[in-house]
Chains A and B, each alone.
Chain A
Amino acid sequence: MENYAIEMLNITKRFPGIIANDNITLQLRKGEIHALLGENGAGKSTLMSVLFGLYQPEEGVIKKDGQVVRIHNPNDANRLGIGMVHQHFKLVECFSVLDNIILGVEPNTAGFLQKREARAKVMALSEKYGLQVDPDAIIENITVGMQQRTEILKMLYRDNEILIFDEPTAVLTPQEIEELMQIMKGLAKEGKSILFISHKLNEIMEVADRCSVLRKGKYIGTVNIADTTKEELSRMMVGRDVEFVVPKAPAKPGEPVLTVQGMTVASKAHRNNAVRNVSFQVREGEIVCIAGIDGNGQTELVYGLTGLEPLKAGRIDFLGRNMTRMSIRNRSLAGMSHIPEDRHKHGLVLDYTLENNMVLQRYFEPEFTNAAGFLKKDNIRKYAQRLIDEYDVRSGQGPITPARAMSGGNQQKAIVAREIDKNPKLLIAVQPTRGLDVGAIEFIHKQIVKHRDAGNAVLLVSLELEEVMSLSDRILVMYEGEIVGELDPKKTTVEEMGLYMAGAKRQ
C-alpha cells in the first residue's frame, strides 16, 4: 500500500441545482507536489472547502496517513497539519511579517508576548527553506512575493505537513514565479506534501510530480507529469483540443484611434507621478500591448485613459476629439470600452444580479430604459441571456444569479462579454484573462483578435509574457512610469523583453 499524506476518497458535494463535486478522489503522496487542474467552476474550490471543513460532503471520506478523519471546521484541518496559501493573502496589512506569522499562535507567558523564540524559529525556517523575509518589515510596504513567502512561513511555523497553494502564481512577476517554483521543490524535498492548484500548464509541467484533473465537477483522472504533455493535460481539463497560440493574420493598421501626448498621472498610493510623460498611439486594426512588471504605472496609465484619475499633464485625443477632460460616461459613449484590472473593485456590482451587471454600461440606453425613466426589464433579461449564451457564462441560476455567487472566471467572462459587445472603437483590456483557464483564455483571445480584425483598436495591458507575445502587434514596455521601449513581437524574444521590463535596457 502506498504512503499517502492525505486522501479524499469518493467525495460528493451537492448544492441546490448543481453537483459541485461528483465522486472525486484525490490522493496526495508524502513528499510530492501534486497539481490540481480544472477549469473555472470545475469544483476545485469546493473540494478544498471540503478539506478545510467549510463544507461537509454528502459522500466520501477523508483519510490522513491511512486513518479516517472527520474535519468539521478549519481548526480541525489545522490540527491535522493542513495549511493553505490563499490566492488573496490573509495578512494584516499594518502588522510586521513576524507578527503576521505568529498571529493566532502567539507564544506567551501569562499573556505577555515572547517574541524572541518566535523570531528564532522563523529565522531558522526562513534559512532552511530559502524563504527570504525581513521579519520586521510591515506587510503593506513589501512586495507581493515577500507577502507570499510570509504566508508560506505562516504554514511552516505551525508545523503544517500538507501545504496547499491556491493559484499562487497569479499575482507574481516571472522572476518571483521562478523563485516560488524553487521554494516548492525545496519544501517537497524536505518531506512536505504540496497540493498545487493552478491552471497554468507550464508551471504544472515544471514543478509537479503528478496531476489530478477535474472537469465540471467530475474527476477525470490522475497522471504522472513525466508521462504526459501540456496538450494532453489541457485536453483532459477542457474536454477538447485547445489552441495555445491564437491564429491571427498580420495587422493592417489604419487611422490612429488614440493619441496620447506627454501624459502624466499621479499615483493614489504615493504622491509621486506613477506615469511620467508618456506618449503613444493606437491605430485601427492593431493590438498594442503594454508590458511590464506589475506596479510600473500600468494601472495609473489606464486610469488616466479611462477618466478614473485626472491627468496632471498631457493630452489625449480619441478619434480626432480632445478627450483630456471628458467624463467617464462620455468616453464610454464616444466608443471606449474598459475591461478593468480589478473585477471586484470596478468591474461588477457584486450584490446585483448577473443581468443587472450585464447592462452596467448601457442601462440608460433607450433599449433598456424608456423615456419616463423606467427600466425595461424584459429587454435586460433578453440581452443578458444572449450574452450568457454567446460567451458561455456559467452560473447557478442564469440571469438572476447574484454576481457574488459566481466563480471568478465566470465573473470575468461576464465583464468581457459586456465590454466587447458594446462594439467599442477602442477596447482597453487590462489583464483580460486573469484567473481564467486555458479554454476560456483561448476564447477571449479569439474575441479580441476578431475585434481587431473588424477594424477596431485594442490596448492590452498584461503581465503574462506569453499573452503579450502571442496576442500583440506592437509591444510597449513600461518601466517606472515611462515607456522604455517599443518592440515588434515577431522580432523580439521574451529574454529581450525581460531586460526592458527590468529596466536594464531602454531605447
Chain B
Amino acid sequence: MKQKSSLIRNDGFQTFITSIICIILGLIVGFFVLLLINAKGAGKAILAVIQNFFQYPSFNAQLKYFGSTLAKTAPLIFCSLSVLFAYKVGLFNIGAAGQYCLGMGLALYMAICLQCPWYLCLICGIAAGALSGALGGLLKAKLNVNVVISGIMLNWISLYGMNMLLKPAMDPAGKDTFRLVNKAKSAVLPTLGLDKIFSNNQYVTIAIPCAVLVAVIVWIILDKTKLGYELKATGNNPNAAKYCGMKENRNIILTMAIAGGLAAMGGSLYYLSDFEQWNVNANAVPAMGFNGIAAAFLGGLNPIGCIFSSYFITHITMGGGNVDLSHYCAQIADLISAVIIYLCGFVLFFKTLINNSLRKSEERFTEEERAAVKAADAAEKTAAEAAKNPEGGNE
C-alpha cells in the first residue's frame, strides 16, 4: 500500500502517466474530428496516424521508415531541449524557431556556397543560433525586454535573413536549395554505419545519437552541476541570485545563448543530413521550433522525457502524412497532429488533478484510520494525566 502510493507520488512517474493520458485523449479527440469531417474514412485514417511506418508490409520497409522517423525526431529533440533549458531558468524561448532557422541557414550556406566540411558547417550554425539567443538574453538583461517579444521579432529576422543568404544556394530547377549529395558531399553528415542498420536509409546519421547524447548532457548540467544550480536559482529568483553574488545578467545571457545553440544545432544537423532542402521563398518560420514547446511540455520538462515526447510527436506527424487523401483534404495530417499536440500541453493540468485527488483520498484515508488513532491518543492522554505530568504532550 505504502509503496504503491509513493510510486504514484513520484514526480517522474506522474509525468509519465499524465503524458500517456494526454496522448490517449489526443488520439480520441483527433478521431472525433475525423469522424466529424468524414465518417467513412475515420477509422482507417486514425489507424494510419498511429501506425506510421508499421503500415508497410515488409520488415525492411518498416525499418527504413522507422529510420526516417528517427531522422526527423532528432531536430525536434534539440528544439524541445532548447525550450526546456530556457524554461528551467524562467525564460520562455519562443525564438527556438528562428534559432533553428539560423542553424539551418548558416550550415547550408557554408556547405553549398563555401564547400566547408560538415563539422565546420555545424559549428557555424550553432554559433549563429547561440548569438541570436544571446542577443535576446542581452535585451532582457540590460533593457528588460521580454524574451517572448524579442524572440518573435528575431524569428522573422532570422527567416528572411536566411532566405536572402541562401538565394545563391538555390537549385534553379525548383525553389529549394541544392541537394548536398550533389553539390557538397563533404558536408553530408557521416552515418557511422547507422544507415546500414536501417535498411540503407542514408538519412539516418550521427544526428540521432547526438540528440540523445545532448539530452543526457542537458539533464546532467541542470541537475548535477554548479552551473545548473546557478542558472535555476537565477530563473526562480533573480533578486536572491544577485544577493548571493551570482552574476544574474550573465546567467540570463548565457542561458539564452545555450538555448539558442541547442535549437540551431537541431537545424544544422537536420539539414546537413540532407533529408530535406530549404525553400528559399518560405514565408513562415519552420514549425519545428513551436513543436519543440509542445514536446518539452509533453516530456514533463524533463530532458530524457523530451526524447520520447519528440519521437511521439514526429511519429504521429509522419503518420498523418499517410492518411488517405481521397476522403480528406491535404491539410488533415497537420490538423490531426495539431489536435494531439494541443492536448499534450495539458500534462501539467493533469498532474495537478492527480495531486489534488491524491490529497483528497489521503484525507479520506486518515478518516478511516481516525478511530484507531483516536483510541491510542486517548489512552496516551489518560496515561499522561495519571502520571500528572503537564508537559506530557510535548515529546
Contacts and interface: CB of A to CB of B under 8 A. Distances in A.
- Is the A/B pair a real complex? yes
Interface in A370-400: 373-375, 377
A347 B244 CA distance: 8
A58 B225 contact: no
A58 B363 contact: yes
B372 to A, nearest CB: 14
**Interface bin, chain A:** 35 or more
B354 to A, nearest CB: 15
B245 A328 contact: yes
Nearest to B237: A349
Contacts of A328: 242-245
A352 B88 CA distance: 12
Interface in A326-343: 327-332, 338, 340
A215 interface: yes
B225 A374 contact: yes
A173 interface: no
B244 A374 contact: no
A375 B226 contact: yes
Interface in A449-477: none
A347 B243 contact: yes
A363 B243 contact: no
Contacts of A327: 245
Contacts of B370: 58-59
B385 interface: no
Contacts of A347: 240, 243
Nearest to B234: A349
8 contacts: A59-B370, A308-B243, A346-B243, A363-B226, A363-B230, A374-B224, A374-B225, A374-B226
B276 interface: no
A16 interface: yes
Interface in B209-260: 224-227, 229-230, 232-233, 236-237, 239-246
A403 B351 CA distance: 21
B233 A349 contact: yes
B224 A375 contact: yes
- Can you list the 6 inter-chain pairs with the closest CB atoms, starting with the nearest? A329-B245, A346-B243, A328-B245, A369-B226, A351-B236, A349-B237
A348 B363 CA distance: 31
B283 interface: no
Contacts, number: 78
A348 B367 contact: no
A220 to B, nearest CB: 8
Contacts of B391: 239
A10 B362 CA distance: 20
A215 B394 contact: yes
Contacts of B232: 349, 352
Contacts of B224: 374-375, 377
A339 to B, nearest CB: 11
Contact of A58 (B227, B230, B233, B366): B366
A356 B229 contact: yes
Nearest to B240: A349
Given A328-B242, A350-B236, A375 B225 contact: yes
B393 interface: yes
Contacts of A308: 242-243
A348 B226 contact: no
Contacts of A360: 233, 240, 244
A361 interface: yes
A216 B394 contact: yes
A152 to B, nearest CB: 31
A345 B236 CA distance: 11
Interface residues of B, number: 26
A375 B229 contact: yes
Given A338-B243, A340-B243, 16 more contacts: A58-B370, A308-B242, A328-B242, A329-B245, A332-B245, A345-B237, A347-B240, A347-B243, A349-B241, A350-B236, A356-B229, A356-B233, A361-B245, A373-B225, A373-B226, A374-B226
A312 interface: no
A14 interface: yes
Contacts of B240: 345-349, 360
A89 interface: no
A329 B241 CA distance: 11
Contacts of A58: 363, 366-367, 370
Interface string B378-395: 000000000000010110
Contacts of A348: 237, 240
A280 interface: no
A503 B36 CA distance: 78
Contacts of B241: 349
A414 to B, nearest CB: 13
A350 B237 contact: yes
A120 to B, nearest CB: 43
A218 interface: yes
A328 B391 CA distance: 47
Contacts of B225: 373-375
A206 to B, nearest CB: 28
Contacts of A363: 226, 229-230
A16 B362 contact: yes
B245 A14 contact: no
Contacts of A332: 244-245
A446 to B, nearest CB: 21
B258 to A, nearest CB: 14
Nearest to B370: A58
B222 to A, nearest CB: 11
Among B224, B230, B244, B391, chain A packs the most CB atoms within 10 A around the CB of B244
Contacts of A14: 363, 366
Interface in A312-333: 327-332
A64 to B, nearest CB: 24
B239 A345 contact: yes
Interface string A47-70: 000000000101100000000000
A349 B245 contact: no
Contacts of A59: 370
A346 B239 contact: yes
B358 to A, nearest CB: 9
Interface in B338-395: 362-363, 366-367, 370, 391, 393-394
Nearest to B367: A58
Contacts of A375: 224-226, 229
Contacts of B363: 14, 56, 58
A407 B253 CA distance: 34
Given A58-B366, A332-B244, A374-B224, A349 B236 contact: yes
A290 to B, nearest CB: 19
